[in-house]
Structure 1
Amino acid sequence: MNKYLAKLWEISQKSERLIIGLMSGTSLDGLDICVCKVSGDGTGTSIDVLRFLTQEYSEGLRNRILAVQSKEQVNARELTVLHSELADHYSSAILEALKSLNITSGEVDLIASHGQTIYHAPAQSQDQNNATLQIVDGDHIAQKTGIITVSDFRQKHTAVGGEGAPLAGIFDEVLFRDQKQNRLLLNLGGIANFTWLPSHKSKKEVLTSDTGPANTLINEAMQKHFSQPFDEDGKIAASGTVHSELVRYILLEPYFRKAFPKTTGQEDFQLEFIENLMEGHQIELSPEDLVATLTAVTSQSISRAFDEIIGEEAFECYVSGGGVHNLTLMQDLKDRNPHAEFKDFEELGISADAKEAAMMAFFANELVAGEGFKIPGVTKEKIHFGKISLPD
């Protein structure tokens, strides 16, 4: 018998597991590394984040990923090389992190790697399949670190008929739904998504959906016009003026008229699309005004979703993802949503930045030790997410 299969069985029987969750979002801030102590399974899961850090990507590596991310045509050789090369990059980052924490590879039960989303393709018609692609090979990570690795979490979601995103609803409901208080968990990555968690006593259904762009358009504009990866603290947006007509034209696009729940990606929202829209309507903007306008698009599209799903009910709003640091965006969201009490995500026990990496640890734990989860509206049976790679 493969010794790692025996070890996997031992791990599944433990009351507590040390799992490293990895996340790299479409905004390409870097690789998030979250060292977690996970106990229990299913609705009895408990996560204690021991350490969180982000290893920023070099400009060269970020540009290589950008060249293949959300593009209709890419260099197939470069895509193939990145699939393995990024895994080596991840592995080196993990080993460095463990060394700094005085943790040996042998003490870690699992690595949980989301990988890098390259293309997200929800079905456009009933005769098509939903599809999504994440690279970063789990076998390479397992082999280089010597740690059993779980990866490729989104494929099972599409295999059973889902769109592959967002996965956060399951995690959010298990860990953060409250008995009496309505909550909404908003994630501001490249794309904005939320989980609406009405109180248990309300007996209303949980809803998870994307809303549209969060940071992706802002970041593209910042890279093109200011040679900066993002709008630090929202300072550029604050210095510009919102072009209300352009906001209105963008929010008339077909995606925003689709019913919830729905998913999207950078494939639908790229700066070129905005520039073509501006050209068609003969709109000229300064770079500052463009960033301000794209920030308003994010805020208004999210606020429209809140209005449609929640109406005037009071709720607590916890925000995670890189966009939480954009002060201009956050203030506009607060101004537009007076029924929401915006609270620090850390009050829920996990920092806003660490949430998505911790979520990967959660799903890896469930794959190894739990019964899995149903996907509302998609499956009646419980399923598990992730594929297992052994070190030999």
Structure 2
Amino acid sequence: MPLFVGLMSGTSLDGIDAALVRCGEGRPELVDALGIDIPDSLRQVLLMLCQSRQASFADLAYAEQAFCELQGEAVARLLAANDLEAGAITAIGSHGQTIEHAPHGISPYTWQLDNPSLLAELTGCPVVGDFRRRDLAAGGQAAPLAPAFHAALFRGAREWRVVLNLGGFANLTLLPPTEIDTPVIGFDTGPANALLDAWHARHQGGHFDIDGQWAATGEVDESLLKRLLDDRFFHQPPPKSTGREYFHLDWLAAYASGREAPQDIQATLAELTAASVALGIEQALARQGAEGPLTLIPCGGGARNADLLARLQRRQPALALARCDDFGWSADWLEAGAFAWLAWCRLEGLPGNLPSVTGAAGERVLGGLYSA
């Protein structure tokens, strides 16, 4: 099967993931993967752009160029580690860096900083980019796009499964058994690491709360948790997606009294993620009339957060916890792998979206092709 590279930088803004994937008619195969950190200087500019109402063209151009050069470096390292030349790669699938996602309103938009032309020039590989806007043009949310890939990897014959991505934001994919003629559904459930990371950085420094250790020292403020969960987003029916433009520290401040201890806020934010995911699972199961045992497959950075997973299991004790590794994939590289696979879909003329997930008017071939 031909080789593809998938590039993904999520809403946590911690780094760029690069996955080397064999794609074809069979099940996609992860060959190798690596991550490359985003330098603090670039990360701060990207964070500013995510929250700015008056971004300058100069800042946007700088961030896009620096981000694309970092992507090129990630590809070069991945190819060198596998003793491969650029010609061995059929295409790179580049997601870009989401700056803002607003699929609602009179002029819906989703914006990922990326320069596929420059990436093709830097790497010598064809590039598929701009995956999301085709679904948006068809009336969809443009997110999440990974559920079609989740189905290709994880769907089983008789068992209901939930793939839970815990990145900056949490999204789930409910996979019915293949023996049942029921569509796959998926949607964002709310914040995951984005608020936890931001609050930890403000009070403890560093980019994230390792293994949820600081959150585990706090007490959940049940009153604050209830106010947060009353937010309309958590109760909207799917399709739905969200991002930093909605959930940020100012959103939190609007609900907090200001008298809470910082570690208690962190514990409450962790519980908010667990509670909103649990609510999302209940909504998905009810929507699809799911019955029988349910296996949960966590992925993304939050899959290593023992405190967060323990909170979720307390809220959903009937869930059987599985690992991505049990299916031949690492939880760290699933999202990057998805965009390698979506690049393969683009070259094969196959749809990459699921209308049952995004709400688009129909299946669409996603992304534009940029020759090397």
Shared fold (TM-score, shorter chain, > 0.5): yes
2:310 counterpart of 1:331? yes
- Cα deviations by residue, 1:208-251 (Å, 9 ceiling, x for unpaired): 11101011100100111111101100000001111111111011
- Cα deviations by residue, 1:66-91 (Å, 9 ceiling, x for unpaired): 11114333233101221222111211
Q: Report 1:17-96 matches (<5 A).
A: 17-40=2-25, 45-96=26-77
**Matched residues in 2 for 1:333 and 1:73: separation?**
38
TM-align CA RMSD: 1.6
Q: Report 1:143-162 matches (<5 A).
A: 143-162=121-140
Per the alignment, residue 118 of structure 1 pairs with 99
Farther off after superposition, 325-334 or 172-181: 172-181
Per the alignment, residue 297 of structure 1 pairs with 272
- Give TM-score, length-normalised by structure 2: 0.94
**Matched residues in 1 for 2:228 and 2:36: separation?**
34
Kindly tell me: are residues 299 and 379 of structure 1, through their superposed partners in 2, closer, same or farther at Cα, counting changes over 3 Å?
Answer: closer
Q: Report 1:90-105 matches (<5 A).
A: 90-105=71-86
Q: Does the Cα contact within 8 Å between 1:158 and 1:164 map onto a contact in 2? A: yes
Identity in percent: 32
SS in 1 for 2:28: strand
Code of the residue aligned with 2:72 in structure 1: it is S
**Matched residues in 1 for 2:71 and 2:12: separation?**
17
Kindly tell me: are residues 294 and 56 of structure 1, through their superposed partners in 2, closer, same or farther at Cα, counting changes over 3 Å?
Answer: same
CA offset at residue 96 of structure 1? 2.4
Per the alignment, residue 259 of structure 1 pairs with 237
Q: Report 1:240-251 matches (<5 A).
A: 240-251=218-229
Q: Does the Cα contact within 8 Å between 2:190 and 2:276 map onto a contact in 1? A: yes
Per the alignment, residue 273 of structure 1 pairs with 251
CA offset at residue 340 of structure 1? 0.9
Code of the residue aligned with 2:206 in structure 1: it is Q
- Give TM-score, length-normalised by structure 1: 0.89
Farther off after superposition, 304-313 or 17-26: 304-313
- Cα deviations by residue, 1:255-281 (Å, 9 ceiling, x for unpaired): 112112211111110012112321xxx
SS in 2 for 1:19: strand
**Matched residues in 2 for 1:355 and 1:114: separation?**
13
2:163 counterpart of 1:185? yes
**Matched residues in 1 for 2:352 and 2:29: separation?**
21
**Matched residues in 2 for 1:190 and 1:36: separation?**
24
Q: Does the Cα contact within 8 Å between 1:18 and 1:38 map onto a contact in 2? A: yes
SS in 2 for 1:112: strand
Query: Where in structure 1 do 4 or more consecutive aligned residues deviate above 4 Å?
Result: 377-381
SS in 2 for 1:201: coil
Code of the residue aligned with 1:300 in structure 2: it is A
Unaligned runs of 5+ in 1: 1-15
Kindly tell me: are residues 247 and 374 of structure 1, through their superposed partners in 2, closer, same or farther at Cα, counting changes over 3 Å?
Answer: closer
Unaligned runs of 5+ in 2: none
Q: Does the Cα contact within 8 Å between 2:16 and 2:38 map onto a contact in 1? A: yes
Kindly tell me: are residues 379 and 219 of structure 1, through their superposed partners in 2, closer, same or farther at Cα, counting changes over 3 Å?
Answer: closer
CA offset at residue 374 of structure 1? 6.0
- Cα deviations by residue, 1:10-39 (Å, 9 ceiling, x for unpaired): xxxxxx211111000010120001011112
**Matched residues in 1 for 2:60 and 2:115: separation?**
12
